[in-house]
């Protein structure tokens, strides 16, 4: 873990890194490309002590990080607004994690299984409902892993109430959930999708 210099009491352990990337599903991937900062939101999945990213083999910035450029992957889960008496004391309850490192390209026999695990992290049970990956699909997909290594991650969180005051104070929770699917298909909703919307 990298040391926090501001509000070090909000620093957390590796379990929070796992929790954030398991919950957030979208991360910001950042690097430097042609001497310019580059960042893009991407779907992310965690598999053990590594993060999985994937995209098109035609994406220049992804090819850049696949070639060994340093990368930073960050995610943030917004849990609640914290309303205080004074604007200065307003805050948020949140969980966040940042992982730095160098990507490794995942290919060969390992790629299909990890692409399945990527899908499973987002939609549990879906991989078994889909046909196997075709050779064309595998050839056009760049699958990358970023190891979660000691000294190369930071995790922070805030939870709890607002400070008390003469005026109203409180915490306003935030929730995200899946709604009813929109589809023109005459087929029934797959079980994996139904479980997503039922939870």
The DSSP secondary structure of 92-116, one letter per residue, reads EEEEEEEEEEE-EEE-TTHHHHHHH
Q: What is the pLDDT of residue 189?
A: 96
Residue 199 is encoded by which pair of tokens?
A: 């939870």
Q: What is the pLDDT of residue 9?
A: 61
Q: Is residue 84 part of a domain?
A: yes
Q: Is residue 35 part of a domain?
A: yes
Domain CATH for 175: 2.30.110.10
Compute the chain's Rg from CA coordinates.
20
Contact 104, 53 (CB under 8 A): no
Q: Is residue 2 part of a domain?
A: no
**How many angstroms separate the CA atoms of 159 and 157, rounded?**
7
**How many angstroms separate the CA atoms of 20 and 97, rounded?**
6
**How many angstroms separate the CA atoms of 77 and 183, rounded?**
29
Q: 178: which residues sit within 8 A by CB, 6+ positions away?
A: 196, 197, 199
Residue carrying the six token digits 């990213």: 53
Range of the structural domain that residue 39 is part of: 8-198
104-132 residue pLDDT tens: 999 999 999 999 999 999 999 999 999 99
Q: What is the pLDDT of residue 1?
A: 52
**How many angstroms separate the CA atoms of 88 and 74, rounded?**
26
Q: What is the pLDDT of residue 172?
A: 97
Q: Is residue 3 part of a domain?
A: no
pTM: 0.89
Backbone angles phi, psi at 127, to 5 degrees: -55, -40
**How many angstroms separate the CA atoms of 184 and 163, rounded?**
50
Q: Is residue 145 part of a domain?
A: yes
Contact 152, 17 (CB under 8 A): no
- Give the chain's residues under pLDDT 50: none
Number of domains in the chain: 1
Q: Is residue 41 part of a domain?
A: yes
Q: In terms of Cα–Cα distance, which of 194, 164, 189, 190 is closest to 178?
A: 194
Q: Is residue 155 part of a domain?
A: yes
Q: What is the mean pLDDT of the chain?
A: 92
Q: Is residue 141 part of a domain?
A: yes
């Amino acid at each position: 873990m990298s040391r926090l210099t501001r509000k070090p009491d909000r620093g957390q352990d590796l379990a929070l890194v796992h929790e954030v990337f398991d919950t957030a599903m979208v991360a910001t991937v950042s690097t430097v490309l042609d001497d310019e900062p580059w960042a893009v939101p991407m779907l992310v999945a965690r598999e053990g002590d590594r993060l999985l990213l994937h995209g098109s083999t035609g994406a220049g910035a992804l090819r850049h990080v696949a070639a060994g450029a340093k990368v930073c992957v960050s995610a943030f889960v917004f849990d609640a607004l914290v309303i205080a008496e004074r604007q200065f004391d307003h805050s948020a309850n949140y969980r966040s994690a940042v992982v730095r490192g160098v990507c490794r390209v995942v290919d060969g026999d390992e790629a299909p299984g990890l692409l399945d695990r990527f899908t499973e992290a987002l939609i549990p049970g879906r991989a078994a409902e889909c046909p196997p990956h075709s050779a064309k699909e595998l050839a056009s997909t760049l699958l990358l892993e970023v190891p979660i290594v000691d000294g190369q991650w930071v995790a922070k969180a805030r939870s709890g109430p607002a400070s008390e005051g003469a005026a109203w104070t409180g915490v306003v929770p935030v929730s995200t959930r899946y709604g009813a699917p929109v589809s023109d298909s005459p087929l029934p909703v797959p079980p994996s999708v139904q479980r997503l919307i039922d939870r």
